[in-house]
Chains A and B, each alone.
Chain A
Amino acid sequence: MAAMVVRRAPVLPMLASQTWAEFLKLWRVPAFTLTSIFLPVMFYAFIGIGQSKEIVSPGVTFGAYFLASMAVYSVANVMVFSFGITVATERGMKTDMLMRATPLPALVYLLSKACWAPYRSSPPASPLVTSPVPTRLSR
């Protein structure tokens, strides 16, 4: 036991690749990309942009207000999908059993789901970025 050198994979690359995998998993499900990326962008384009200069309360334009609303909507969607639905499906398929047998720390697994949520919902935060087309991503 004393002779054993610490032989563990570094956590940060693990977190990075797990986060990337979590992203790909959902990105390829149109039901997800459509509702959490495309819809908020579309709502903002239809409702937000037209009256973005209107002041809703001192110092806050309707544009900023609605942008924040759509961002929250999008993040909430990610939460539902990423934490709710995927965790449930993965448990149903016993993926969690396999994960528990690997050296992946449970915390990294959870963090990876949390990590990409804000990142993924950034398109609504910058609606002028070309809206991502919710089709299969061919990397």
Chain B
Amino acid sequence: MPPAAQLIDATKKYGSVEALKGVSFDIELGEVVAMLGPNGAGKTTSISLLLGMRNPTSGKALLFGLDPKDLNARSRVGVMLQESGIPQMLKVREIVDLFRSYYPKPMARDRAIAMAGLEEKANALVKELSGGQRQRLYFALAVCGDPEVLFLDEPTVGMDVEGRRSFIERIAEFAGLGRTVVLTTHYLEEADRGLVIADASPQEIKSKVAGKRVRFKSAALTDKDFVGLPVTTSAIDDHHVQLLTNDPEAVLKELFRRGIDITELEVAGADLEDAFISMTTHKVGA
């Protein structure tokens, strides 16, 4: 059984800009994968290669072991793109019906609309929908073909907190049917909700990058004061200092030994966002 989606040493250049540099990964059926990365990291490019919307400059993209342009492969995939419009003059149920006709075994129209929570808007024209509702409509269009793999590119952009929360629940509901979900996001807490990042679970990444966050206030410190401390990253903002470390005890011992005055000390487990920042800034420095 070939993996659901696969990039093999894929490179993509837009003119002289290299958006992807030899990226390889496999996404197996039944996995839920979140792609994390700062803007411009190549998340959307990876997805458009996997969907056959763009061709890799070198390397390969495969869907179910097939060329992504193969309609047999595409018929098993549902997509929600970051930027895409849909015809404004169609009603919600009409456009859902239209997209259902593209797929061999679509789910019932009402079920797709219900999964997106758009029951009340089924008879509204697309142009009458609010931004969040439109986003939910894209979700309905992505799931209406009852796909085995769902690609969601920044699905919650522009949604309020409540909207995002319920949206993530809908995605989880779909994943709960045993389907594969690939989503890109820069909202880290979405990826933190038990979803898998890249090739590691959120816990693994957090422990790999930085176990604890040490925060305190101290007057007149510079980066030099932290030389030799076992920290992964350090940040000083005014008098607020933030250190990420795997060994907070040693850090504190050393700080006290150096006789640095500390107030408002706080030691906490780093969240994914800290880990993420630490990982990506690390890369820049390397």
Across-interface contacts of A93 in B (CB, < 8 A)? 84-86
**Are A103 and B84 CB-contacts (below 8 A) given A21-B98, A25-B89?**
no
**Are A8 and B75 CB-contacts (below 8 A) given A1-B65, A29-B89?**
yes
Structural contact, A18 and B53, CB atoms closer than 8 A: no
Across-interface contacts of A97 in B (CB, < 8 A)? 53, 81, 83-84
A94 and B53 CA atoms in complex are apart in Å by 12
A13 within 8 A of B: yes
CB distance from A85 to the nearest CB of B (A): 13
**Are A8 and B99 CB-contacts (below 8 A) given A24-B89, A95-B86, A101-B79?**
no
Main secondary structure of the interface of B (DSSP, over half): loop
Structural contact, A95 and B81, CB atoms closer than 8 A: no
A12 and B125 CA atoms in complex are apart in Å by 26
Structural contact, A7 and B105, CB atoms closer than 8 A: yes
CB distance from A120 to the nearest CB of B (A): 15
Structural contact, B2 and A1, CB atoms closer than 8 A: yes
Interface size class on chain A is: 20 to 34
Structural contact, B95 and A21, CB atoms closer than 8 A: yes
Structural contact, A6 and B72, CB atoms closer than 8 A: yes
**Cβ 8 A contact of A94, one of B71, B84, B95:** B84
A32 and B125 CA atoms in complex are apart in Å by 18
Q: Which of A9-46 contact B (CB under 8 A)?
A: 9, 13-14, 16-18, 20-21, 24-26, 28-29
Structural contact, B65 and A105, CB atoms closer than 8 A: no
**Cβ 8 A contact of B104, one of A8, A18, A100, A102:** A8
The 7 closest A-B CB pairs, nearest first, are: A93-B85, A98-B84, A17-B101, A101-B79, A28-B89, A103-B75, A103-B74
